[in-house]
Chains A and B, each alone.
Chain A
């Protein structure tokens, strides 16, 4: 798309224009000074680089997330406006949809990933976490991203979905593509889409009913077709949502938690002293690192937001990560504090589109951190962590560590 072609309702002098590219490599390397700049410039800013409005304070991010009638998702939650451009893939029936269509599909996925279902899979997920820690204790020195943050979700989530053993190597590249594609037409997005064909082919095929094992989340979604809740053409697209958003996100979430606990040994010790903090230690890592950094909305009408007038059809970029460290909302926001009351953070979003898989993520995080803290005395970072660059996701590519058994 051509960002320069869109009209700018720059008539409102109250909105500061900033020369910031939040999708540039140097931004990704250290986003925090820019997050502060965005927050302090005003409640609503305008980014000339991509012709979009931006909100980086907690109050405005929360307000936009919770007004889906004004700030819609059906025109895409990336920079691309589906009203003006053809989406790179058929739109998601849940992420890129508005009520009432969204309400129906959301209800299906909510049921498939409900607290009741989590109770059923809990023991299995916990046992797999213990096994993973067994393997890590044998190694002592390893890459906490590949061997832990990736290996653990890969050992449970594809099976929980009911995926075939073949072709699973496409899962992380596909998710990486999806999250790069929310960004602007930069190198990251263009390269990802250029290489997308084999990953898309795998995903399309794997979402079909006959390719999903009975009893898995995927089969449960297809079973709703028989109840008449969704159509046979909708079911594969809803399975696709779990393949897109269910794996790479938890990889980055667990990676974030381990990176935090390795960097802040006092918090690690606190967790070891009280294992019931494991779930909150994960939650706080999601606030602190915000594995999903940003999403867009599109205005359905002219709207005033905290004194700023935004016209119809404008893209609004929400800086979830900046909101999660807004000092207006959080006490000592730049401290990783595993006992913090972190409820209310927007790392999983908020409102009707809040992450439908949040219970899966929390369960994986909780049982993994519990298993680690039970048996490991120390985690030491032994080499320079390498960052993985993505237009939406924040996480590491590698984190060399050595562990000391308890």
Chain B
């Protein structure tokens, strides 16, 4: 199964295994990772699973949908060009090794 890395604001990182057909958010919450809140449970409604995608990976992710784009305007920490909602990043074998940075806060 593909594995992905979350880097916390303090520089610490967590390398986690994903399960088949799971989103980055689901993998994070399944492992009890601090820093991903996901209040809406992955329904693209709350913007509390915000991540900054490592530049090297950005172009390999699925395109930003309109609803995700609108939600990113309301994130608790500043939206950057590499901002995404981790509930919208479905992990495929092509994303093995993906690196995501966590913001300071989610609400």
Query: Which chain A residue shows the least CB distance to B37?
Result: A343
Q: Decide: A362 and B39 in contact? CB cutoff 8 A.
A: yes
Say if the beta carbon of A3 comes within 8 Å of chain B. no
How far is it, in angstroms, between the C-alpha of A346 and the C-alpha of B67 when the chains are bound? Answer: 22
Q: Would you list 14 pairs from A and B whose C-beta atoms are within 8 A, ordered by A residue?
A: A107-B67, A110-B67, A111-B70, A114-B73, A115-B47, A115-B73, A116-B70, A283-B39, A343-B29, A350-B43, A354-B41, A354-B43, A356-B45, A358-B45
Say if the beta carbon of A119 comes within 8 Å of chain B. yes
* A-B residue pairs, 4 tightest by C-beta: A115-B74, A116-B74, A115-B47, A344-B41
Chain A residues contacting B80 (CB-CB under 8 Å) are: none
Q: Decide: A110 and B38 in contact? CB cutoff 8 A.
A: no
Say if the beta carbon of A279 comes within 8 Å of chain B. yes
SS of B interface (majority): loop
Known: A110-B45, A115-B47, A359-B46. A341 touches B29 (CB 8 A): yes
Q: Shortest Cβ distance from A387 into chain B, in angstroms?
A: 28
Query: Which chain B residue shows the least CB distance to A120?
Result: B74
Contacting B at CB under 8 A, from A64-90, are: none
Chain A residues contacting B41 (CB-CB under 8 Å) are: 343-345, 350, 354
Say if the beta carbon of A118 comes within 8 Å of chain B. yes
Q: Decide: B45 and A354 in contact? CB cutoff 8 A.
A: yes
How far is it, in angstroms, between the C-alpha of A356 and the C-alpha of B67 when the chains are bound? Answer: 13
Chain A residues contacting B74 (CB-CB under 8 Å) are: 114-119
Q: Decide: A115 and B46 in contact? CB cutoff 8 A.
A: yes
Query: Which chain A residue shows the least CB distance to B106?
Result: A279
Tally of A-B residue pairs with Cβ under 8 A?
A: 53
Q: Decide: B32 and A358 in contact? CB cutoff 8 A.
A: no
How far is it, in angstroms, between the C-alpha of A354 and the C-alpha of B67 when the chains are bound? Answer: 15
Known: A279-B107, A343-B29. A114 touches B37 (CB 8 A): no
How far is it, in angstroms, between the C-alpha of A345 and the C-alpha of B42 when the chains are bound? Answer: 11
Say if the beta carbon of A351 comes within 8 Å of chain B. yes
Q: Shortest Cβ distance from B19 into chain A, in angstroms?
A: 15
Chain A residues contacting B45 (CB-CB under 8 Å) are: 110, 354, 356, 358-359
A-B contact sample (18 more), CB < 8 A, given A350-B43, A366-B107:
A107-B67, A110-B67, A110-B70, A114-B73, A115-B73, A116-B73, A116-B74, A118-B74, A283-B39, A341-B29, A341-B32, A343-B39, A344-B38, A345-B41, A351-B43, A354-B45, A356-B45, A358-B46
Q: Shortest Cβ distance from A339 into chain B, in angstroms?
A: 12
Q: Decide: A358 and B70 in contact? CB cutoff 8 A.
A: no
Q: Decide: A115 and B40 in contact? CB cutoff 8 A.
A: no
Say if the beta carbon of B61 comes within 8 Å of chain A. no
Chain B residues contacting A110 (CB-CB under 8 Å) are: 45, 67, 70
Interface string of A103-133 (1 = CB under 8 A from B): 0000100110011111100000000000000
Chain A residues contacting B38 (CB-CB under 8 Å) are: 343-344
Chain A residues contacting B71 (CB-CB under 8 Å) are: 114-115
Chain A residues contacting B67 (CB-CB under 8 Å) are: 107, 110
